Amino acid sequence: MEEERDNMLPFLDVLVERTPSVFLTSILREPTFTGLYLSWDSFAPKRRKKDPFRTLTHRALMICYSSRLTSELHKIKENFLPNGYPEQLVSYTIRSKVDNFNRAKVYGPPRCHIYLKLPWLGSSIQPLADKISSSVTHCFNAANLRIIYSTCPAFPSFLKDALPSNEQRSVIYLYQCQCDADYVGKTIQRLSVRVAQHVPGCIRILEVHRRKNLL
């Protein structure tokens, strides 16, 4: 249960501050928050890199009280600069998001969202994506094309060494005891650890001595 401290009460990701006349709301950041986001130098589309502070700006516009909004937008900007983001780009994107949010809403029939998935090949794929988007907009005005880029893993999974069965976790196993009894169970531990727990301590000691005598 959260308790009010210094006239402030956290609720999910919102910090509510009580004043004599009104409740002031702002973004709540936990003490474990590090401010680490996708690096600007990462091999990813620029749109994917800009989406986080677009989303954070939208969240601030929806949650923050007017007197708390300016400081929150400044915090968003300061969090992305250490991740290598150009200051001019961050400032422009935040300002553009605020302007679009405050713009008068246009009512009418919704446009049909169409999704197109393309492989991310660096900047060389951008001219093709722009041409496709322009052609769809020109020919189908009622369509809203959204291009999604996909990236491949740096190392294919088949290059990884296979994990032995007795070292795997979260498995269902069948253990045959020395007394000819069978045990079926599920464990989140390594299978070798769980199997060892089925063997009584006295038998494990005898097995250790037997191996020493064989050596």
CB 50 within 8 A of CB 7: no
pLDDT at 215: 53
List pLDDT tens digits, range 172-210. 888 877 777 788 888 888 888 888 887 776 766 666 666
Count, in order, helices (H) and strands (E) of the chain. Answer: 6, 7
pLDDT tens, residue order, the chain (215 aa): 788 888 888 888 888 999 888 898 998 888 888 888 888 888 888 888 888 888 889 999 998 988 888 898 998 888 888 888 888 888 888 888 888 888 877 777 788 888 888 888 888 888 888 899 888 888 888 888 888 888 776 666 666 677 888 888 888 888 877 777 788 888 888 888 888 887 776 766 666 666 666 55
Long-range contacts of residues 19-25, Cβ cutoff 8 Å, at least 24 apart: 22/65, 23/65, 24/65, 24/67, 24/68, 25/63, 25/64, 25/65, 25/68
Q: pTM score, two decimals? A: 0.56
Take residue 79 and report the two structure tokens written for it: 């969090």
Q: What is the DSSP letter of 158?
A: G
pLDDT at 203: 67
User: Residue written as tokens 């492989």?
Assistant: 119
Take residue 85 and report the two structure tokens written for it: 């983001």
CB 17 within 8 A of CB 26: yes
Per cent of the chain over pLDDT 70 is: 88
In angstroms, the CA 3 to CA 11 distance is 10
pLDDT at 212: 62
Q: What interhelical angle do 66-80 and 87-102 show, nearest 10? A: 150
